[in-house]
Structures are given as C-alpha cells and as structure tokens.
Amino acid sequence: MIELFYSSTPNGRKISIMLEEINFDYKITKINLSKGEQFNSDYRKISPFSKIPAIIDHKNKISLFQSGAILIYLAEMSGKFYDSDNRIVINQWLMAQMGDIGPMLGQHHQFHHYNPGKSKFSEERYFNIAKKIYKDLDERLLNSSFLAGENYSIADIATFPWIARHNWHSIGLNKFKNLSRWYEKIAARKAVIKGYDCLKEGEEIPKI
C-alpha cells in the first residue's frame, strides 16, 4: 500500500496518474497547501522541503519526496513506463521536466495567472520562457510519438499535468500541432483521466 501525500496540482497529479497507470493500491492523504499543512513538523519528516508530493510505501517502509524520484521508484517497482534499454533518454526528458518545464511554467503561473500586474519584467520573462517550452516540446514531438521516443514513459507522465494547465498559459496549445497530438493522446488514457481526478471532485482534463 502506497500512501500519497497529495494536493490537486501538476506535481501531485504526476503521482496519482502514475499510481493509476501501474494499478497499485494507494490511499491519498490530502495536504492543504493554502492552510500551510506542508509545514507541519510530522510532514516535514518525509518531505523536508515542505512540498507535495511525497509517498510512504508502507510495505517496504520507505518514504520519498521529489516527484521525479517517486516516479522512478514506482516505475522500477512496477516495471512499467521506464524501459531498461531507453533509460538514458527517459532520464533526460524527465530531468528536463523537473529542472526546466515545471519550475519555469510554475513561475509563469505565479506572475501571469495568480499575480498579474505585480512585475512587468517577470510577467514578460516567464511568458516568453513558457512560449519557448511549448515550441521546444512541439519540435521534439515532430519526429517522436512521446518525449523519450516511441513509448509512453514517466517523462510524459511528469510533463502532461503541466501542459494540462494550458488554459492558464494564454499561449494557445492548438497552435502547436505535435504537442496537441501528444496531449490529446495522453488525455484520452483511462488511467490519466482517473489519476487527474483522483479525489473524485469532478475535475476534468482541460480540452484544447
């Protein structure tokens, strides 16, 4: 049994989608970020940076924070979405998500969606970076079905929930044909639909 410490954000959804994809038994413990529950001292014992997601694997008595590390752990446990002969490429695209796509789109959310008008410089900077991320992903997906090649992998699972915030980005996902094709293909997966709304609150994956 995996316990997932969760909030309905892109980083949280990476793990609920993965758990649905590999069909593991899991339970969700909600962390209310706006109430500051991530800073509770008990939670900080498993997530020292006070962030979601984190997991406890009760059977193996392991706890983990950082969504990329959790995805690798679950992929290794299940033997899914992390082909052993393609790990170098999968790692590369997973790190691109962890180091660039997530943090930069996260800043775009802060300045464009949550706090418009606070800093013209930051709004422009992260808008431009977000547009470049769409363009770069679109280019990658011109000759590749999925980010790390022909197979769906944890790199796609990590990236999808960030692109699923496309309505916040004001970039126009439909202008990016390859990225749109990739998005629609993943959005149609049963496990993705279930994992996206793992709290069963009726949250639908945004359409293009």
Ligand X SMILES: N[C@@H](CCC(=O)N[C@@H](CS)C(=O)NCC(=O)O)C(=O)O
Which residues would be at the binding site for ligand X (CB under 6 A)? 9-11, 33, 38, 50-53, 66-67, 98
CB of 53 to ligand X, least distance (A): 6
CB of 14 to ligand X, least distance (A): 7
Distance from C-alpha of 169 to C-alpha of 19, rounded to nearest angstrom: 27
CB of 181 to ligand X, least distance (A): 26
Nearer to ligand X, 64 or 180 (CB): 64
Nearer to ligand X, 99 or 172 (CB): 99
Nearer to ligand X, 66 or 122 (CB): 66
Question: Which among 56, 51, 19, 53 is positioned nearest to 38, based on CA atoms?
Answer: 51
Q: Which amino acid is at 11?
A: N
CB of 152 to ligand X, least distance (A): 20
Q: Which amino acid is at 75?
A: A
The CA angle 191-195-200, to the nearest 5 degrees, is 120
Question: Which among 86, 81, 95, 130 is positioned nearest to 109, based on CA atoms?
Answer: 130
Nearer to ligand X, 67 or 180 (CB): 67
